[in-house]
Chains A and B, each alone.
Chain A
């Protein structure tokens, strides 16, 4: 008996070592630094352990932009990574670069259930012309964070945060009276503008937000845009809104809120964990609510932010299969739950949300609830699908410059008109370069 076992063991060892020699190597480039990188590494280790024939190597490549730049350069030199994490506004750019293949081409119909499990608004964003070009992974959207302790002090209902632009202003009057230095803050970032456009059911670009055909016209000089800017400017002039003075300064906004100089903060849901801890350390109670919207309009919902995972083309079939296997594993229900709990990013699967509800996760961490409900209540349409614009990073700077000019006192209408012209011209030049 022992002998047979020994022989079996020997055969098995030989077999597994033969397999080991044929290990398929997959490279995965991502833009998640710090503790998130360590988290990804642990997940990848687990995959490699349970899939002895595949060896995935995850590498942190800096910011989203750096990661995309590196991937394009590596592709040019003929050693592209198999999987690349790309931020949502880089989707059209990634498509235009022509170095990626649609993920859906790899998936057999038998696995479609896995694709249909993605939360609607998320699927909506990443399904381009009916196909998943990439796998949704980390997603977030903006919510309102507020300081319950300061709300109480100002005589506001700490369980009922403001929901509209006017309600924010009303709350600000009371908060200021109660001695709060600034009422509200958020980073001066185009992302919030894009969200408020979507909330109003409006488009940011023609051809149905660039979803039906390539966008050729950016809508900056529009009524919905004016509404946002008018409110923003009023808040700023009255001393209700403050920002550090530097554009895209996420930390600056967080600091204003955490130091209790501002009673409200609008920022990404991916900061829930960070802000929960910070509020605890600074001795105040944290509340969260939906992103406030202009008065008198129907709340349409938010556009999904974050990033998805793309597969580069031109690899042998075996490697592509392995990459697919990894991606489906990496984004499965169990891992989504794990990723959410570890980082605060949203789980992008319906089944993962169900698991979290079953575990009563939201009772223990109520701050996450607004983030979830806001996304789940989003009405799927062209506005909330988000715009596909090739030169989105540049358009963002144009919008941010416009905001800074408006806050500095230039007339809103003239600024928007000029920004619209600049954006259209920039888009025209981009479109010419990819033709």
Chain B
């Protein structure tokens, strides 16, 4: 069988991808390999001294109640923030997709938080939820005469970091949902209406299935963002507190690696995170084949 190729020889093709390959190897594959290797050592001082300990770092992580709590925190954070940011994102996108006056302004405003650097967003939320001088408690005090310990109660603190993350992510989801909504052929919706479907029926039976490819894409990207980009919010707003109740795995990796000099443990945590993300992505892709409605 003869293959039609754009390039005369494989070498030419290789030459074209070489720069990318070199960059990937230096900045991605080699560090990944090093991380895997490092996770098998007990490392002191960023690698100044190390000794091989096999899987001891992993054994420690899986047997320690502190790390189990960190995994649980991560699961809570990721699941809640992904679900909430997708639901709100879709809701807002549907609203912004209506034929209303000034819809461009609304769309712009909805997308705007995403353009904000995470550090700035983090500081805004820190100011909002400061227990004594924050805006939220100030308003609560005047309206209902209560003030909540936003950052010193564990579930409230988790709520605050999830809120911050969701607020930041919603704009991104709105953009994609808006584009997807506008791509749904009008005749399908009209056909449903003619058949006598209510607005809710149309939405849940027609619109939502048509949005499933983009939803899947957003679940993957939001999950990855929740794993990795939560760092800024947690570092700025709670520092993992109170008593480690908002410490998620990415924050723990940073602390172990760069504050406590436990490079080996941090490497092992990174590997675990890496495996988690790979597995989740595989599951999502598999689910997609069965559940997602792709137009041909």
Contact = CB atoms under 8 A, between A and B. Distances in A.
A96 B49 CA distance: 10
A160 to B, nearest CB: 27
B73 interface: no
Given A96-B45, A97-B48, A433-B43, A247 B239 contact: yes
A296 to B, nearest CB: 30
Contact of B131 (A72, A245, A391): A245
Contacts of B42: 432-433
Q: How large is the interface on A (under 10, 10 to 19, 20 to 34, 35 or more residues)?
A: 35 or more
Given A97-B48, A248-B239, A394 B260 contact: yes
A283 to B, nearest CB: 18
B247 to A, nearest CB: 9
Contacts of B255: 397
Interface in B220-278: 237-244, 255, 258-262, 264
B241 A246 contact: yes
Given A98-B48, A393-B259, A434-B44, A404 B243 contact: yes
A185 to B, nearest CB: 9
A385 to B, nearest CB: 23
Contacts of A391: 260-261
Contacts of B130: 244-245, 252
A72 B48 CA distance: 8
B45 A256 contact: no
Contact of A261 (B45, B48, B132): B132
Contact of A245 (B150, B259, B264): B150
B153 interface: yes
Q: Which of B44, B48, B261 has the most CB of A within 10 A?
A: B261
A18 interface: no
Contacts of A244: 130-132, 151
B209 interface: no
Contacts of A408: 152-154, 242-243
Given A245-B157, A246-B238, A397-B255, A99 B48 contact: yes
A16 interface: no
Given A72-B45, A76-B47, A93 B131 contact: no
A401 B44 contact: no
Contacts of B132: 181-182, 242, 244, 256, 261
Interface string A33-54: 0000000000000000000000
Q: Which of B131, B150, B157 has the most CB of A within 10 A?
A: B131
B45 A97 contact: yes
A422 interface: yes
B149 interface: yes
Nearest to B239: A247
Nearest to A401: B243
Nearest to B259: A393
B126 interface: yes
Interface string B189-205: 00000000000000000
A255 interface: yes
Interface residues of B, number: 37
Interface string B31-59: 00000000000111111110000000000
Contact of B152 (A261, A402, A404): A404
Contact of A69 (B152, B242, B258): B258
Given A97-B48, A99-B48, A261 B133 contact: yes
Contacts of B237: 246
Contact of B46 (A73, A243, A432): A73
Nearest to B238: A246
A69 B46 CA distance: 8
Contacts of A393: 259-260
A394 B265 CA distance: 13
Nearest to B257: A69
A407 interface: yes
B48 A245 contact: no
B48 A259 contact: no
A252 B238 CA distance: 12
A256 B49 CA distance: 44
A246 B238 CA distance: 5
B152 A245 contact: yes
Contacts of A99: 48
Interface string A89-119: 0000100111100000000000000000000
Contacts of A334: none
Contacts of A432: 42
Contacts of A245: 129-131, 149-152, 157, 238, 242
Contacts of A208: none
Contact of A93 (B151, B239, B261): B261
A430 to B, nearest CB: 8
A65 B258 contact: yes
A256 B238 CA distance: 18
A400 interface: yes
B258 A242 contact: no
Nearest to A73: B46
A217 to B, nearest CB: 19
Task: Give 5 nearest A-B pairs by CB, closest first.
Answer: A245-B151, A404-B242, A433-B44, A404-B243, A245-B152
16 contacts: A65-B258, A69-B46, A69-B258, A72-B46, A97-B45, A98-B49, A243-B131, A245-B149, A245-B157, A245-B238, A246-B241, A394-B259, A408-B154, A422-B66, A433-B49, A433-B264
